[in-house]
Amino acid sequence: MLQAIDLSLRVGAKTLLDGVTLTLRPGEVLAVAGPNGAGKSSLLRAISGELAPFAGQVTMNGRLLAEWPPQQAALLRGVLPQSAGLAFRFTVRDVALMGRSPQRKTHSAARNRAIAEHALAMTDTGHLAERIYTTLSGGERQRVQLARVLAQIWEPQDPLHRYLLLDEPTSALDLAHQHAVLAIARRFADEQHAGVLAVLHDLNLAALYADRIALLHQGRLAAIGTPAQTLNSELIRQVFAYPVSISRHPQNPDAPLVIPRRQVAPGVQEQ
């Protein structure tokens, strides 16, 4: 398991996280949602080890995250940030191969290249392999970066579990590729028994693909549970300060469907 235990995070006098405890289980997709500034990306960065907590701790597979050697941790935990700045004229294939850096001394070049190609195919970017990365659209870059992260943690590390951490992976994608990326995350959790944590803004996407949803509000954990447990109109109104209605998805009765209520702008008289 990947666990945050009573995690607090501060930057100067500002508290970004306040006593957050949650567990990412092997084989599950855990969505983290909440309004802007709730602490979602800060939580992911703390769980990934990028930010050191002010208080509390993070453990991975029963061991403090800080105690894992970087090389071994890289085989177990892959992180897709919101944006990955890359200004060099690398090909898409080269970017995917960057994910294989931890394995360059232990695997052949042919093996690493084959895995990078598989990851590109999985993210529907194999046809872009010879393209220069900087010429791609924002959505194409996001999918190539996902291929890089998948290539990094591609192989099982039995008996240790792997974890995929995604920070707003659908933000630059069109409708079809939003679902494609989350379907990949779902498949990776199901088939590889890996834990997947995804920061998402779209509650309906979270309901369709996640086993559990954690709602953050002002740096605190407001709720965590199945989509049916967390996506209720009163809780969403409290967390997001906006009224919604809850229905059932017409194609997936087990998934709540969040319907925002129409709001009239101040000073505008509704016809």
Kindly list the structural domains of the chain, giving each domain's residue range(s) and its CATH number in brackets, ordered by start. Answer: 2-260 (3.40.50.300)
pLDDT bin (cut points 50, 70, 90) of residue 251 is confident
Residue 99 — left, alpha, or beta (φ > 0 → left; ψ -120 to 50 → alpha)? Answer: alpha
**How many other C-beta atoms can be found within 10 angstroms of the C-beta atom of residue 45?**
18
Q: Which of 183, 191, 144, 149 is nearest to 48 (CA)?
A: 149
In 3D space, the residue among 18, 47, 43 whose CA is nearest the CA of residue 8 turns out to be 18
* Its pTM surpasses 0.85: yes
pLDDT in tens, 124-153: 999 999 999 999 988 899 999 999 999 999
Pairing status of strand 256-260 against strand 244-248: antiparallel
pLDDT at 114: 96
Cα 107 to Cα 110: distance, rounded to the nearest angstrom? 8
What pLDDT is recorded for position 268?
A: 56
How much is the pLDDT for 153? 96
> From CA 212, how far away is CA 264, in angstroms rounded?
33
Q: Which residues lie closer than 8 Å to 216 by C-beta, 6 or more apart?
A: 20, 32, 33, 34, 38, 39, 40, 43, 222, 239
What is the spatial distance between Cα 135 and Cα 59, in angstroms, rounded to a whole number? 39
